[in-house]
Amino acid sequence: MKNEPQEDVFSEKLDLKLWGRVFRHALPYKKLLTPLAIAAVGIALCDASFALITRWTVDAVAQQQQVNLWPYATVYFVAALALSIGVWMFINAAGGLSNNMSHDIRQECFKKLQELEFAYFDHRPTGWLISRLTSDCDKLARIIAWGTLDVLWAVCLVFMIAVVMVVLQPLLGLLVLSVVPPLVWVSAVFQKKLLLSSRETRKYNSMITASYAEELQGLRTTKSLVRENENQREFEVLSTHMYGVSIQNALQSAVYIPIVLTLGSVAAGIALWRGGADVMSGTLSLGTLVAFIFYAGQFFNPINQIAQTLVQMQGAQAAGERVLSLLATMPEIRDHEEVCARLHLWDRADRPAELAPDGYEREIRSVAFDHVDFSYQTGEPVLKDFNLKVEAGQTIALVGASGGGKSTIVNLAARFYEPTGGRILVNGRDLRDRSLEWYHSNLGIVLQGPHLFSGSVRENIRYGRLDATDAEVEAAARSVNADSFIRALEKGYDTDVGEGGNRLSTGQKQLVSFARALLADPRIFIMDEATSSIDTETEQLIQQGLKAIFHGRISFVIAHRLSTIRGADRILVIEKGRILESGTHDELMVARGHYHALYTQQFRNEQVEHMLDVGVLSA
C-alpha cells in the first residue's frame, strides 16, 4: 500500500546513466573535485610507498654496517606528512562535496515541491516526501562524494601495488596478485548480503516502532480489555524476529572478515614461500620480500571499499530515481508559454497601475464556471457540466452532504486543480490565460483545520501581506476580534505559537487565520468549513468579523453553521456534482426542499451543542 514505509528494491544492474545524472549535481563544485582526486591518488601513492621505504631501509641496513639513517628518516617523515595532509584534504573535499551537494539537491527539491500542483500531493503522504528531502538527498550525496573518493583511492592503490610488485619481481608479483579476483568476488557477494540483511533489520525496526506507537495510543483500550499479557506476547514475537535478522546480519559479517583475511594470508604465504626461495637463491632482496608480505595484507581494504561502494550504489539507485524524477516532474498547473511571454513583455516600470503583471486588467470583477467537468486522477467524475457565475461583492454559500463536490468547486475556483473539461473564466477570460502567481496573490483562504507556522502571532498574521506594518497587522486582528485574546497572551503579538500553532486553541488559531486572510486584502475569499470546528463563543466573535471580510469581494463559503450560511447572497445545495437548489435563504426555506431539511436538522444540532457548551447552570 502507498502509505507503507517503502523499502527500496535492490537493483541488480548498475544504472550508470542515472548516476551520471546524479553526478551532474557535483559539477558546480569543480573546486572540490580536484583536491578530491589529488587526495585520493596521493593517499594511494603514500600507502603504497611505505612498504617501499621499509624495503629500502631494511635492505640498506642489512647490506652494510654503518649507514647514515637521516635520509631514510626524512623520506619517511615526508611521506607521513603527505599522507596526513592527504587525509585532511580528502575529508574536507569529500565531506564538503557531499554536504554541498545534498544541500543543493534538497533546496531544488523543496523549490520543486512549491511549484507542483495539489494533485501531486494527493497520493504522496507527507512523511514519504520528507524522507525524500532528508535521507534520500543525504544518501545520494554521500555515495557520490565518498564513493568517488573511495573508488578512486582503492583503484589507484591496487593498481600501484600491482605495478610495483610486477616491476620488482614479475612472476612473484603475478602469483600474489592471483588472490585479487576471488577477493573481489567474495567482497561483492558478502556486501550485497549485508546490505539486504541490514535492510531487513530496518524493516523490523520500523515495525517495532509502530508497535510502541500503537501501545501508547491504545493504552486505555488495552487496560480496559485487560490485554497486557497478549500484547506482550505479540510484541515478543516481533522482537524475537528482529533479534533473528539482526543476528543474521552480525553472523554474515563475522564470516566475511575471516574469509577475506584468509585470502590475504594466502597471498602472504605465497610471497613467503616463493619469495623465500628467491631470497635464498639470491634473486630477491630480503627487503623486497618484506615489502611483498606487507602488500599481500594491503589488498583487503581497497577491494572491500570498491565492493561496498558498488553495492551501495545498487541499493541507492531507487532513491536516486525518486529524487531525480521529483526534480524532473513538470508542474501541470503553470503559466503557459503565451502567459510567460506576456509576463516578460509587461515586466517594466511604465506598466499602467490598472494592469496586472500579465498585462490584462488587475481588477477581478467576476469568476465563472463554464460547462466545467472534473474528476480526480483515479476516481469517477466529481463535477459534470457545472455552471456558475459570481460577481464582485457576492457571497456564495455551498451546502450539502460531504463528498458532493463542494471542496472541488472551491479548489477549481482557486486554480489548485484545473478542470478536466470546460473553462473557468475571470472577467470572461480563461483562467489559464492569466498569470498563476498573480491570481493566487488575489486569493484569501481560511480552512477548517487552521494551519499556522511556528513563529510569533505577528509573523503569522503578516504572512497575509509580507510588507504590512505592525499597525496594519493589529488593525486586521482587531477587525476579526482577535486583538483582545492576542493581547492577553503572555507576550502579546510576539507570543510564539508553537509548531503548527498548537500552543493556541483551535478557535484562537482560526481567528489568527482570519486576520491573516483579511490582511492579504484578497479579491476572492474562500472559506472551507472554517467555522465548523470551533466553539460557540469563538464563532460569535468571528461572525462579527466576517461581514468586514465579505464586503466588496467575491466569496465562496462552505459551511455547516447556519449563521455563516444565512448571510450569503446565494446558497447552492450541491449533491453529486450538481446544483440541486439555488437561491437566498428565504427563497429556499419557502421552497421546503433539501435546504429546508438540512437547515432544520442543523438548527437542532446547534442548539443542543450550544446548550452543552455553555453549561447548564449558566444557560
Partner 1 sequence: MQGFRSQYAMAIAALLVFTAINYLIPLVGSATIDFALTSGVLPGVTPAKAAPEAVLSSVLVSWMGGADLVRNHLWLPALVMVGLTVLAGVFSYLKGRFAAQASDGIARRLKDRLYDHLQRLPTRYHDHAETGDLIQRCTSDVETLRMALSTQVVDISNAILLLLTALPLMLLLDGRMTAISFVLVVPIVLFGYIYVGRVKHLFREVDEAEGQVTRVVQENLTGLRVVRAFGRQSFEINKFAKPNQLYRDRSLRLLRLMAWYWSTSDLIVLIQQGIVLIAGAWFISQGTLSVGTLFAFIMFLNMLLWPVRQMGRTLTDLGKATVALNRMGEILSEAEESKREPAGVHPNPFRGGIEARDLVFDHDGKSAALNGISFTVRPGETLAILGPSGSGKSTIMHLLLRLYDYRSGSIRLDGQELTTLDRQWVRSQFSVVMQEPFLFSKTIGENIRLGREGAAKEEIQEAARLADIHDTINTFTAEYGTLVGERGVTLSGGQRQRVALARALLRETPVLLLDDALSAVDAETETNILHALRSRHGQRTTLVIAHRLSTLAHADRVIVLDKGRIIQEGRPEDLLKQEGLYRRLWTIQNAAQQEILDNERPVAATSAAPAASAALASASAHASATPASTPVPASR
Please choose, out of 12-20, 127-135, 309-317, 573-581, the segment that lies near partner 1 by the rule CB under 8 A: 127-135
The Cα 60–Cα 15 span in angstroms is 51
Cβ of 3: how many Cβ atoms within 10 Å? 9
Instruction: Choose the binding region for partner 1 from 96-104, 171-179, 359-367, 385-393 (rule: CB under 8 A).
Output: 96-104
| Closest approach of partner 1 to the CB of residue 231, in Å | 6
* Residues ≥6 apart with Cβ < 8 Å to 53: 72, 75, 76, 79
Query: Do 181 and 306 touch, CB atoms closer than 8 A?
Result: no
CB atoms within 10 A of CB 518: 26
Question: Rule CB under 8 A: which of 287-306 touch partner 1?
Answer: 289-290, 293
3-state helix, strand, coil in the chain (%, to 5): 65, 10, 25
Helix (H, G, I), strand (E, B) or coil at 169: coil
DSSP tag of 330: P
| Cell, residue 35 | 583536491
| Least distance between partner 1 and beta carbon 225 (Å) | 6
Q: Which of residues 27-86 bind partner 1 (CB under 8 A)?
A: 53-54, 57-58, 60-62, 64-67, 69, 72-73, 76-77, 79-81, 83-85
Q: Are strands 570-575 and 395-399 parallel, antiparallel or unpaired?
A: parallel
| Residue 260 and residue 184 in contact, taking contact as beta carbons nearer than 8 Å | no
Q: Which of 33, 113, 155, 579 binds partner 1 (CB under 8 A)?
A: 113
Touching partner 1, residues 464-483 (CB under 8 A): 464, 466
Please identify which residue in 6, 34, 178, 205 interacts with partner 1, judged by CB under 8 A.
Answer: 205
Question: Does 355 help bind partner 1 (rule: CB under 8 A)?
Answer: no
203 lines the binding site for partner 1 (CB under 8 A)? no
Task: Give, as ranges, the residues between 259 and 288 that touch partner 1 (CB under 8 A).
Answer: 259, 261-262, 264-266, 268-270, 272-274, 276-277, 279-280, 286
Which residue number, 342 or 585, has a Cβ lying nearer to partner 1?
A: 585
Beta carbon nearer to partner 1, 284 or 306:
284
- In the bound complex, what is the minimum distance in angstroms from residue 16's beta carbon to partner 1? 28
Cβ-based nearer residue to partner 1, 387 or 605: 605
Footprint (CB under 8 A) of partner 1, residues 533-552: 536, 540, 543-544, 546-547
Q: Assign residue 402 a region (left: φ > 0; alpha: ψ between -120 and 50; beta: otherwise).
A: beta
Taken as a whole, the chain contains a residue count of 619
Angle at which helices 536-550 and 594-614 pack, to 10 degrees?
130
Among 28, 170, 181, 218, which residue sits at the site for partner 1 (rule: CB under 8 A)? Answer: 218
- Interface residues for partner 1 in 405-444 (CB under 8 A)? 414, 416, 437, 440-441, 443-444
Pairing of strands 570-575, 554-558: unpaired
**Cell numbers of 187, please?**
567482497
Per CB under 8 A, which region of 188-196, 344-352, 571-579, 606-614 contacts partner 1? 606-614
Shortest reach from residue 66's CB to partner 1, in Å:
6
Choose which of 49, 102, 191, 309 interacts with partner 1 (CB under 8 A): 102
Site for partner 1 in 499-518 (CB under 8 A): 499-500, 513, 516
Q: Find where cell 642489512 sits.
A: 62
The CA distance from 214 to 209, in Å, is 9
Q: Which residues pair with 271 in a beta bridge?
A: none
Site for partner 1 in 372-411 (CB under 8 A): none
Q: Report the C-alpha gap between 109 and 104 in whole angstroms.
A: 9
In the complex, minimum distance from the CB of residue 88 to partner 1, in angstroms, rounded to a whole number: 4
Q: Which is nearer to partner 1, 233 or 389 (CB)?
A: 233
340 binds partner 1 (CB under 8 A): no
Backbone angles phi, psi at 187, to 5 degrees: -60, -45
Site stretch for partner 1 (CB under 8 A), options 355-363, 426-434, 458-466, 473-481: 458-466
403: left (phi over 0), alpha (psi -120 to 50) or beta: left
Count the residues of the shown chain that bind partner 1, applying the rule CB under 8 A.
162
- For cell 553495492, the residue is 311
Shortest Cβ distance from residue 381 to partner 1 (Å)? 22
